[in-house]
C-alpha cells in the first residue's frame, strides 16, 4: 500500500484508480480525499466489481463512483481531467512467490513478456486521462526489469512532455537505469525489496505530465445534464435528513435509479456521459409513502450526525449483527445502531422494541461473533 502514499491528494483532487478491485488502495485513497474531490474506481474484470463495491460500501465512501470499462473507453470520455491516476498494473507477480504457490507455478518468461506488453498499452491509455501538471503513478508487485524500468523507459521515450519524478524515501532502493539500456535516469523509481523491509516487495514510478503538454479535452464546466430525483423524493429524503441525520451534508446531486435514491458526487457534465456501475452513495429506497435508508448510508455516517443513536455493548452488538431485535426504550422511528463509536446499521423502534434492519445476507449466528472475539 506504499504506492498510495505517492499520490498528491487534497480537498479537491480528481483521482482515477484504474485497477481498483478488490479495493484496498481505493479505500486508502478515499480516506485522504476532501468533500470536493472525485474518485473513479475502475475495474475491467466484471467478476471483481462486486467485491470492490462491497468493500467501498463497508468503508463508508461518498465521493467514489465505480466503472467497469476498458481504460481506453474512459479516456475517450474523460481525457485530461484527472490530477492523479493510479495504475497498479497486472503483472507476473514475482513479489507474491513467498506466500502464493500458484504465483510460482504460473510464472514463465512468456508470462513476463505478455505482462510487459499489456502494461505498455495500459500506460499509454492511462496517460490520456492525466491533466497537464498531473501525475500517473505506476506500480507492480514484480521485480523483473522487463515490467518495471523497461516499461517506464519506453513510456518516457514515447512521451517527451513527461518526466520521472523522484521518490525520496530512505526505506526504498532506487530504480536501475542499467536494466533498461536507455539514456534515461531511472534512479527516481522506487524498488521495495522484501529482504530490506516488511512486505512482499514491489516497484513504484511517478510519471509527471508537464504543464505545457496540452491536448484537447472535455471542459470541466460543460453543462450538467443530471436527471435529478423528482421533487417528492427530494422532499421525503430532505425530511429524513432533518429528522434523523441533521448533521449530515455532502456536496452531491440526488438522483433516482429505479426505486433507489443515490447521492452522486459533483462531476459536472461528465456524469451524464460516463457509464457507471455505482454512482456514488446509495442513500436508500424510495416509495411514494416512505423512505427506507440504506445500509451504505448507515456505514457512511458518524454517530454524532444522528439525532437517534443507540450505543450497544459487545453482547448486544453481536446479537444485532446476528439479526436479532433489541429491546430498549427511546424515541420511535429510525435508529442508528453503534458500537464503540462506529455505526453498524439501522434499526427501527416501535415502543421498546428495535426491529433489526441489518442486511440479511451479512448476518451470522451470534455464537460466531462471540467466538471471533475470543
> Would you call 152 helix, strand, or coil by DSSP?
helix
CB 345 within 8 Å of CB 358: yes
Smallest CA-to-CA distance from 164 within 193, 126, 190, 132 is with 190
For 234, counting Cβ atoms within 10 Å of its Cβ (0-12 exposed, 13-18 middle, 19+ buried), the class is middle
Query: How far apart, in whole angstroms, are the C-alpha atoms of residue 191 and residue 200?
Result: 11
Distances from the Cα of 361 to the Cαs of 49, 56, 193, 286, 358, in angstroms?
Answer: 18, 17, 41, 21, 9
Does residue 19 have an active-site annotation?
no
Query: How far apart, in whole angstroms, are the C-alpha atoms of residue 28 and residue 88?
Result: 14
Identify any residues that bridge with 350 across adjacent strands, giving them in sequence order.
353
> Would you call 116 helix, strand, or coil by DSSP?
helix
Query: How far apart, in whole angstroms, are the C-alpha atoms of residue 195 and residue 247?
Result: 48
DSSP string for 196-255:
TSSSS-EEEEEEEE-TT-------TTPPP---BPPHHHHHHHHHHHHHH-TT---SEEEE
**Cell numbers representing residue 131 in the block:** 491533466
Identify any residues that bridge with 345 across adjacent strands, giving them in sequence order.
337
Where do the DSSP E strands lie in 37-157? 38-42, 64-67, 82-88, 130-140
Smallest CA-to-CA distance from 37 within 26, 50, 45 is with 26
> Would you call 260 helix, strand, or coil by DSSP?
strand
Question: Residues with catalytic annotation?
Answer: 141
Amino acid at each position: 500500500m506504499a504506492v498510495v502514499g505517492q499520490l498528491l491528494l487534497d480537498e479537491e483532487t480528481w483521482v482515477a484508480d484504474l485497477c481498483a478491485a478488490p479495493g484496498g488502495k481505493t479505500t486508502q485513497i478515499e480516506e485522504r480525499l476532501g468533500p470536493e474531490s472525485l474518485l473513479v474506481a475502475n475495474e475491467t474484470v466484471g467478476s471483481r466489481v462486486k467485491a470492490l463495491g462491497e468493500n467501498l460500501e463497508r468503508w463508508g465512501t461518498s465521493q467514489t463512483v465505480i466503472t467497469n470499462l476498458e481504460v481506453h473507453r474512459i479516456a475517450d470520455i474523460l481525457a485530461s481531467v484527472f490530477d492523479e491516476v493510479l495504475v497498479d498494473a497486472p503483472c507476473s507477480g514475482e513479489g507474491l512467490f513467498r506466500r502464493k504457490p500458484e504465483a510460482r507455478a504460473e510464472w514463465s518468461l512468456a508470462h513476463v513478456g505478455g505482462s510487459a506488453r499489456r502494461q505498455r498499452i495500459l500506460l499509454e491509455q492511462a496517460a490520456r486521462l492525466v491533466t497537464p501538471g498531473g501525475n500517473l503513478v505506476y506500480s507492480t508487485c514484480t521485480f523483473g526489469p522487463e515490467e518495471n524500468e523497461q516499461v517506464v523507459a519506453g513510456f518516457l521515450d514515447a512521451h517527451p512532455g513527461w518526466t520521472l519524478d523522484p521518490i525520496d524515501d530512505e526505506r526504498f532502493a532506487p530504480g536501475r537505469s542499467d536494466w533498461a539500456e536507455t539514456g534515461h535516469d531511472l534512479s527516481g523509481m522506487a524498488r521495495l525489496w522484501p529482504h530490506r523491509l516488511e512486505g512482499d516487495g514491489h516497484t513504484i514510478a511517478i510519471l509527471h505530465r508537464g504543464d505545457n503538454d496540452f491536448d484537447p479535452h472535455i471542459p470541466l464546466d460543460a453543462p450538467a445534464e443530471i436527471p435529478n430525483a423528482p421533487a417528492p423524493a427530494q422532499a421525503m429524503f430532505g425530511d429524513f435528513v432533518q429528522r434523523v441525520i441533521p448533521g449530515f451534508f455532502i456536496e452531491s446531486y440526488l438522483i433516482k435509479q429505479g426505486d433507489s435514491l443515490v447521492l452522486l458526487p459533483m462531476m459536472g457534465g461528465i456524469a451524464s456521459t460516463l457509464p457507471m456501475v455505482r454512482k456514488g452513495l446509495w442513500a436508500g429506497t424510495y416509495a411514494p409513502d416512505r423512505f427506507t435508508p440504506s445500509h451504505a448510508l448507515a456505514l457512511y455516517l458518524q454517530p454524532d450526525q444522528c439525532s437517534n443513536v443507540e450505543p450497544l455493548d459487545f453482547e448486544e452488538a453481536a446479537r444485532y449483527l446476528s439479526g436479532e431485535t433489541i429491546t430498549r426504550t427511546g424515541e420511535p422511528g429510525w435508529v442508528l445502531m453503534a458500537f464503540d463509536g462506529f455505526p453498524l446499521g439501522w434499526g427501527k423502534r416501535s415502543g421498546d422494541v428495535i426491529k433489526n434492519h441489518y442486511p440479511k445476507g451479512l448476518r451470522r449466528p451470534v455464537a460466531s461473533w462471540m467466538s471471533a472475539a475470543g
